Amino acid sequence: MSTDLPAKVYNVFKRELTEINLQTLEPEFYQTVLKAIEELKKDSQIRITVLQTIRILFLIRLKKEIDLIIRGEMDKLRELPPEEKEIIDKILSTMSQREGGRPPVQPSELQETSKPIKEVKEKQKEAPKKMEMSLVTFLEPYSMILDKDFRGGPYNKGDTAHIPKRLAIELEKKGVVEIIEITSE
């Protein structure tokens, strides 16, 4: 494995980068790669490069998995490598504890977890609209936002926040934020 290790990791990495959707990954991928890395010399450039690539691949995949959770597409999270599944299970558990004190979500309940998300979305549609909000990512640091209806910040580059739509549009025109999604509060 160690001779074709860089090529295998690169191909998986490239596929994950070039495809929008989460790609299928064999369950033992990380374990196999880590075993092969152990066979390489400690300071070899191949080892360092493969480790860096694996870290970035892991984070890209986690981002895609979190996006699936946000969209309520829990069924697509069933076949994850155990290393990713452990992190996603912790995220889901933390989220469910924060949402009205529901007990932690167990991995076997992934399909059931999508029901409350759909129900919440339906309830949001039924609720009267108060203020249109936008989910934004800050492209640069920004001080506190003090507005008649909203207070928030300070924000660092890369921070994500819900802010009023009118402020999001204004800040987007200035190049301070990128609007990800417009929602209703």
pLDDT tens for each residue of the chain, 185 residues long: 455 888 899 999 999 888 888 999 999 999 999 998 888 888 788 888 889 999 999 999 999 999 888 888 888 888 899 999 999 888 888 877 776 555 444 444 544 444 455 555 555 455 445 678 888 899 999 888 877 777 888 889 988 888 889 899 999 999 999 988 877 55
Contact 138, 131 (CB under 8 A): no
Residue 80, pLDDT score: 92
Name the nearest CA neighbour of 107 among 81, 72, 78, 84: 78
From the list 150, 157, 163, the residue with the least C-alpha distance to 176 is 157
Domain extent listing, the chain: 5-124, 132-184
Phi, psi of 33 (to 5 degrees): -65, -45
Q: How far apart are CA 160 and CA 176, in angstroms?
A: 12
What's the angle, vertex CA 18, arms to CA 15 and CA 22, rounded to 5? 65
**Tokens for 160?**
């994500």
Nearest-angstrom CA–CA distance, 9 and 49: 10
142 forms beta bridges with 155
The domain made up of 132-184 has a fold known as Ribosomal Protein L9; domain 1 (3.40.5)
Q: What angle do CA 27, 75, 91 make, to 5 degrees?
A: 75
